Amino acid sequence: MVSTADFVQDTTQKASPDVLDGGPGFFEKHPSCGFITCCVKKKGLEVCAQCDEFPCNRTEDSENVLDSFVSHRKTFPNLNWIKEHGIEAFLEQQKKRIALLQKMMQGFNDGRSKGFFHLSATLLPLTDLETALRNAEKQLEMDDIATDDMKSKALILKGFLNAIAERENIELQLRKKKA
């Protein structure tokens, strides 16, 4: 069984700091998190989805959770997916997402697209991310875009990602408190 700690350790060694904003030491950084207190500290579980009481009253208002510097929209759908398919399968999917995000950041980041690519990698379906990258690479070849023209490369990939988001009715922006 792959533990969350092993996954974080494994991906931290392979991923750039840009990819893993949570990373090692998360539990120490967030000691007052109610989910960590309930699942990890009290019940010895890795995630809520492993709890016999999931979903519970703690997870009822998940649709109204605002985002911080990361999106929380996939938190509870991910937990439901883990409950159904298991944490090992989920961690394998996350490794694929990280690899795709690394590819986006290394090959398409114009210096202004980091947040957009992170949200895309988090919120869009995995197969669609793979398709968008393939299509963007084909488009770069067809349009004969220079390998160092990051602005054009970012624009092309963003176009494919935005089209997927529109088709799937997914907003690629963080949900913030309205001023």
d(CA 91, CA 3): 9
Q: Which residues contact 153 (CB under 8 A, 6 or more apart)?
A: 107, 108, 110, 136, 140, 145
Give the E-state strand segments of 37-128 in sequence order.
Answer: none
pTM of the model: 0.73
One digit per residue, the tens of pLDDT, for the chain of length 179 reads 445 445 444 544 443 333 333 456 665 666 666 777 777 778 888 888 888 888 877 766 656 666 555 667 788 888 889 989 998 999 999 999 999 999 999 999 999 999 999 999 999 999 999 999 999 999 999 999 999 999 999 999 999 999 999 999 988 877 667 76
Q: Contact 79/48 with Cβ under 8 angstroms?
A: yes
Radius of gyration over alpha carbons of the chain, in Å? 18
Quote the tokens at residue 12. Answer: 């931290």
